[in-house]
Amino acid sequence: MHDSRYITSFLAQEEADRVLANLNNEVVFLDRDSLKFRIYGKTTQLPRDKAFYGDVDGDGKYPLYRYGGDYEPPVHPWTRTLREVRDLIADKTGYLCNHVVVNRYIDGADHIGFHHDKTRDFAPDSPVCTISLGGTRKLVFQSKKKAKSKKSGKSVEPEKAENCVKSKNWGKSKKSKKAKEEDCLYEVQHGSLFVMGPRTNMAYKHKIMKTSRPCEMRVSLTFRNIKTIADGSGNIVETVN
């Protein structure tokens, strides 16, 4: 799909197991109550856990990723394992990231709805590199053009993508009417890397679907290269290009 890539076994099974076990000890997640947000006038808890880590220097300067919430959570210095994975991605793909959002989906009810990533703080043309750990979940893309054309009644062909699996009854049963609206579905599995390019993020919305099937906890590491740097008090001090 456009400029994205899905690499199933970026980390070997044992390596992915070790990374997940280490992160369970190292990462401190924010309280879900601190991440409450308003939707349609109602205050709702975020349906996943989050934590922010990255390049925090000796003076407390850190990469600032304004992702759209009212509250800018603190960015902690890399843990040993997060830095290790960041370095591995840089070695293998050439993408050097200075920031990661760790998402934890405890069960199938935890999810992230359709959205595109806010890019105002991204280094130009940089991708989002996502490592998946734990339970397999469905990552779904829907083209913004198609969502629009649904309103205008015009049809738009979905793009063909490599490694993009379709659900079993994709487009067949009435139940999967929703699936017809989705262009591309990846079953993001333990140890995989999804590189979402800037053009994909611009042309598509993405989500991690809810599921009613039993599923293991999933942790995703969403690495980004952030150009906006803030000081310890949260004031923007520089923009690196």
Tokens encoding 16: 């992915």
Cα distance between residue 123 and residue 89, in whole Å? 17
Instruction: Find the shortest distance in angstroms from Cβ 126 to ligand AKG.
Output: 14
Residue 16 within binding range of ligand AKG, rule CB under 6 A: no
Task: State which residue, 146 or 218, has the beta carbon closest to ligand AKG.
Answer: 218
Tokens encoding 8: 């199933």
Q: Which does 192 bind (CB under 5 to 8 A by kind): ligand AKG, Fe ion, none?
A: none
Longest dimension (CA), the chain: 58
Residue 130 within binding range of ligand AKG, rule CB under 6 A: yes
Question: Please, are residues 108 and 214 in contact by the beta-carbon 8 Å criterion?
Answer: yes
Instruction: Find the shortest distance in angstroms from Cβ 162 to ligand AKG.
Output: 18
**Residue 195 corresponds to which amino acid?**
V
Tokens encoding 174: 């009435």
Cα distance between residue 223 and residue 95, in whole Å? 9
**Bridge partners (DSSP) listed for residue 206:** 115, 141
Instruction: Find the shortest distance in angstroms from Cβ 117 to Fe ion.
Output: 4
Applying the rule CB under 6 A, the residues between 158 and 217 that interact with ligand AKG are: 206, 208
Name which position in 79, 143, 220, 225 contacts ligand AKG (CB under 6 A): 220
Query: How do 193-196 and 128-134 pair as beta strands?
Result: antiparallel
Task: State which residue, 37 or 60, has the beta carbon closest to Fe ion.
Answer: 37
Residue 49 within binding range of ligand AKG, rule CB under 6 A: no
Task: Provide the binding-site residues for ligand AKG, judged by CB under 6 A.
Answer: 101, 103, 112, 117, 130, 139, 206, 208, 220, 222
